[in-house]
């Protein structure tokens, strides 16, 4: 309900990404706006309210339908909607929550098109991911190969740490249930990470497709940023869950990831990391034109006191 110009009613105040719930999964239900509330209605007609304004990303699995009104409300409050395959393995489509502005997009594109700046960004990503400076005088292609070797080694180390049998990173979305538990947990866990990372990328005003290390995919930049956090967040959660051999590994690892995101306030780290990574390219952000749209979810104003930290 709009507050209009009534001074007695509080102004609408969208919740910033860092203060939101990370993920909500919906399976086999109808999403709609009924009596002004965002709800999922099951086959028996039972309504479950979803506080969509406080959620970063809604993951809709097969068997879910969503109305035009629900999509519009989610977009208005800045909640990303992702349509995913069974167990979150494949992202089919996504709705942008709004707020992307051309100044940030131009900055990202400028960095990606300049070979020297792009290499600096990739080297920064490598250093942040492995807590180690990358080898000097290496091309992006060479760094990609070095990174791949280190990633494979880290999977082996995590498997040993949690006592999980591990052969290789391998799964077939067409025969999902035939995959081993560790790979199924990893795929579901990384889908969680990619969902909230995409929500953060869009909220910050950047393009998911314009990547630096990853290229040529709709979510290349999402993979770039998510990979920085992968081995400190969802990979340990995936192997720890796989070690318990749960009856429903995908569901178990989602709960584990969501609890980690909540307990560590992980969402507050993503956008500052994006800015730090891009700053390594040593290019200035283009000034926003006078007619530029305002941020969809602006930061709250402080008390205009240099010593105030609220």
CB 95 within 8 A of CB 74: yes
pLDDT at 237: 95
In the chain, where the domains are located: 17-95, 102-279
The CA distance from 240 to 238, in Å, is 6
pLDDT at 299: 53
Choosing among 2.40.50.140, 3.30.70.1880, 1.20.120.920, 1.10.10.60, the CATH entry for 102-279 is 1.20.120.920
**Bridge partner list, 25:** 59
pLDDT at 49: 92
The CA distance from 92 to 86, in Å, is 11
Task: Give me the chain's average pLDDT, please.
Answer: 83
pLDDT at 293: 60
The CA distance from 7 to 9, in Å, is 6
To the nearest 5 percent, what fractions of the chain are helix, strand and coil?
50, 15, 40
Q: Using the CB atoms, write b or e for 68-81: b if 16+ within 10 Å.
A: eebbebbbebbbbb
Number of neighbouring beta carbons within 10 Å of residue 34: 14
99 sits in the region (left: phi over 0; alpha: psi -120 to 50; else beta) called left
Q: Which is more confident, 12 or 109?
A: 109
Closest CA to 65 of 99, 31, 35: 31
Closest CA to 45 of 69, 29, 65, 60: 29
In the predicted model, is pLDDT for residue 37 greater than 90?
no
Question: Which residues touch 6 (CB under 8 Å, ≥6 apart)?
Answer: none
pLDDT at 1: 40
Choosing among 3.40.50.620, 3.100.10.20, 3.30.930.10, 3.40.50.80, the CATH entry for 17-95 is 3.100.10.20
Q: What is the mean pLDDT of residues 22-35?
A: 87
In the predicted model, is pLDDT for residue 288 greater than 80?
no
- 151 CB-side CA count, 13 A: 15
pLDDT at 168: 87
The band of 12, judged by pLDDT with boundaries at 50, 70 and 90, is low
Q: What is the mean pLDDT of residues 131-140?
A: 92
pLDDT digits (tens, 9 = 90+) for 199-247: 888 878 888 999 999 999 989 999 999 999 999 999 999 999 999 999 9
Query: How far does Cα 17 stand from its chain's mean position?
Result: 11
Q: What is the mean pLDDT of residues 245-269?
A: 89
């Amino acid at each position: 309900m709009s507050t209009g110009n009534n001074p007695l009613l509080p102004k609408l105040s969208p919740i910033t990404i860092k203060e939101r719930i990370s993920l909500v999964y919906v399976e086999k239900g109808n999403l709609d706006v009924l009596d002004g509330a965002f709800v999922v209605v099951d086959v028996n007609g039972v309504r479950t309210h979803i506080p969509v304004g406080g959620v970063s990303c809604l993951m809709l699995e097969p068997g879910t339908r969503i109305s035009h009104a629900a999509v519009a409300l989610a977009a208005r409050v800045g909640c990303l909607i992702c349509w995913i395959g069974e167990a979150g393995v494949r992202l089919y489509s996504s709705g942008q929550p709004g707020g992307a502005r051309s100044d940030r997009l131009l900055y990202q594109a400028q960095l990606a098109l300049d070979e020297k700046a792009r290499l600096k960004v990739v080297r920064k990503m490598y250093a942040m991911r492995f807590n180690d400076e990358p080898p000097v005088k290496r091309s992006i292609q060479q760094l990609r190969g070095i990174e791949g070797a280190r990633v494979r080694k880290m999977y082996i180390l995590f498997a040993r740490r949690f006592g999980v049998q591990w052969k290789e990173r391998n799964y077939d979305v067409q025969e999902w249930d035939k995959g081993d538990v560790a790979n199924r947990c990893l795929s579901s866990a990384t889908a969680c990470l990619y969902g909230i990372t995409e929500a953060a990328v869009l909220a910050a005003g950047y393009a998911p497709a314009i990547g630096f290390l990853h290229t040529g995919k709709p979510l290349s930049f999402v993979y770039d940023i998510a990979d920085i956090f992968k081995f400190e967040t969802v990979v340990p959660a995936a192997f720890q869950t796989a070690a318990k051999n749960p009856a429903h590994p995908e569901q178990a690892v989602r709960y584990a990831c969501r609890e980690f995101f909540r307990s560590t306030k992980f969402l507050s780290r993503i956008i500052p990391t994006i800015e730090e990574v891009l700053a390594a390219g040593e290019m200035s952000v283009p000034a926003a034109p006078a007619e530029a749209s305002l941020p969809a979810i602006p930061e709250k104003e402080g008390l205009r006191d240099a010593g105030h930290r609220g």
